[in-house]
Amino acid sequence: MLFGNSDDKRFVLGYDLGDKVSQISFLGSDADMPETLSVLAGAELYNIPTVLCKRKDVNQWYFGKEAVRHIEDDDVIPVYNLVSAARDGKPVTVGDSEYDPTALLTLFVKRSLSLLAMELTLEKVEAIMFTTRLLDNRMVQVLNAVTSTLELKTRNIFYQSHEESFFNYMLFQPEELMHHTIVACDYDLDMLNIYEMSLNHNTTPIVATIENTEYSDLKLGREGFPKDATLFHRTCDRLDDEFQSIMQKVCESKTISTVFLLGDGFKEKWAKRSIEYLCRIGRVFQGNNLFSKGATIAARERIHPSKETPKYVFLGEDKLKSNIGIELLKCGNEVYHALLDAGVNWYEAQSSMDVIIDPSGTLEIEITPLTGKSPRIVKLFLDGLEDRPKGVTRLRVSLKMSSVTEVDIKVQDMGFGELFPSTGKVWEQTIDLM
């Protein structure tokens, strides 16, 4: 799938920003599927450790693998958990000084993006999608602060959760992988996150939902696998037993088409019995760059939507789950006009339009959930609306979401030329979508 001018190769990026490791994938305008940036040329080393360190008594900073090397040499002060620190917002103490945690995260993102110089220049980037495990209102604020400071060349900067990146990745996989439940197991030696994607083929468009469950049963900690051979094999057996037990509970009474094993936690090949079990119920793939690739695909779809996009809609935790619209009279016939579409991120959902209504003083908003609930009509009573002849009551209707379940509606009297100047009246109401 091509986008942009083939004579001027352009790129989109997917940046998976994690507390332990981060990844950057990219997609050129002459390619169909993304590649992931390797921190070592010729190798498949995709993980950039999300860590900074500062030299003792000198204002010199290192990031990623170089920071890890200096930390092992014990000649620096390390700074871990950059994403969590930025979310918390509390100053970070490094040596004798305190630093703004968002500024530290910005430094890491800026330095890591510089690694792309091996593959492309940022001036050629059309869009960037940042994806994180947890994307709530606070994380959006942090990402806004980070990206506004980076002075990126493109205004097409988007955010989405790991769930949605999983969904975007699957959109461009073979159709046979999409018939039943799809499971992604993301393990980083600390927490096991299991994502279960279900598709409702009885709706148009097809609704995808993803359930994310965390398990701490496989936690090993920062030290990872033991160095002692006996302890190593004992640990592998324990993890295999725990993981198989979890997956048996996850997969029971479900038809599973595909399982993905993601993250560095699976690198040691310990999941032997678990994989044998999973192979009996579906196809199994192993890798660790699904989320950054999915984010890259999502960046492309935002600026150059493909034919696959309208077939599916993803209703995640941060998504508007209803279509919101209004019936308007057009050429003598009532037609539905969409104001907000289900599937958009609530923090990006807003629209505005001017309408001519009858002088009844009532505006009817249609709410059509895609979750199986019944459609309903919400009436907005415009008390004090000026009594005018039919066809000259022009209103501006603006919608903006204040949370995933609340839509703020603002209606302004816009008047109608010099004959009927605006009264300046404004009506506001919040609709609860629950």
Helix (H, G, I), strand (E, B) or coil at 390: coil
Asked whether residue 307 is domain-assigned, the answer is no
Position 196: which residue type?
Answer: E
Residue 4 has pLDDT above 50, yes or no: no
In this predicted model, what pLDDT tens digit does every residue of 31-87 receive, in sequence order? 999 999 998 877 788 999 999 999 988 899 999 999 999 999 988 999 999 999 999
**Which residue(s) pair with 348 in the sheet?**
none
Same domain, 158 and 20: yes
CATH of the domain at 97: 3.30.420.40
Asked whether residue 56 is domain-assigned, the answer is yes
Position 269: which residue type?
Answer: K
Same domain, 158 and 169: no
Neighbours of 256 (CB within 10 A): 18
Residue 3 has pLDDT above 60, yes or no: no
Asked whether residue 316 is domain-assigned, the answer is no
Same domain, 171 and 276: yes
Same domain, 32 and 157: yes
Asked whether residue 5 is domain-assigned, the answer is no
The total number of structural domains that make up the chain: 3
Asked whether residue 317 is domain-assigned, the answer is no
Helix (H, G, I), strand (E, B) or coil at 104: helix
Smallest CA-to-CA distance from 396 within 408, 381, 414, 380 is with 414
Same domain, 16 and 155: yes
Q: Which of 113, 128, 162 is the last residue of a domain?
A: 162
Question: CA–CA separation, 155 vs 243, rounded Å?
Answer: 43
Asked whether residue 312 is domain-assigned, the answer is no
Give residues with Cβ within 8 angstroms of 59, minimum separation 6: none
Can you say whether residue 418 is alpha, beta or left, with left for phi > 0 and alpha for psi between -120 and 50 degrees? alpha
Indicate the burial class of 290 (C-beta count within 10 angstroms; 0-12, 13-18, 19 or more): buried
* pLDDT-based confidence at residue 396 (cuts at 50, 70, 90): very high
Same domain, 152 and 185: no
CATH of the domain at 229: 3.30.420.10
Same domain, 332 and 280: no
Q: Which residues form the domain of 275?
A: 165-293
CATH of the domain at 363: 2.60.34.10
Indicate the burial class of 378 (C-beta count within 10 angstroms; 0-12, 13-18, 19 or more): middle
Q: Which of 277, 293, 309 is the last residue of a domain?
A: 293
The H or E element containing residue 187 is strand 181-187
Same domain, 121 and 238: no
In this predicted model, what pLDDT tens digit does every residue of 237-278 receive, in sequence order? 999 999 999 999 999 989 999 999 999 999 999 999 999 999
**Which residue(s) pair with 367 in the sheet?**
324, 376
Same domain, 23 and 117: yes
Question: CA–CA separation, 262 vs 152, rounded Å?
Answer: 30
pLDDT at 309: 64
- Contact of 288 with 7, CB cutoff 8 Å: no
* pLDDT-based confidence at residue 311 (cuts at 50, 70, 90): confident
Asked whether residue 234 is domain-assigned, the answer is yes
Asked whether residue 314 is domain-assigned, the answer is no
Q: Which of 104, 132, 162 is the last residue of a domain?
A: 162
Joined tokens for residue 116: 């792309």
Helix, strand, coil percent content, the chain, rounded in steps of 5? 30, 35, 35
Same domain, 138 and 190: no
Same domain, 138 and 267: no
* pTM score, whole prediction: 0.85
In this predicted model, what pLDDT tens digit does every residue of 107-146 receive, in sequence order? 999 999 999 998 999 999 999 999 999 988 899 999 999 9
Same domain, 222 and 354: no
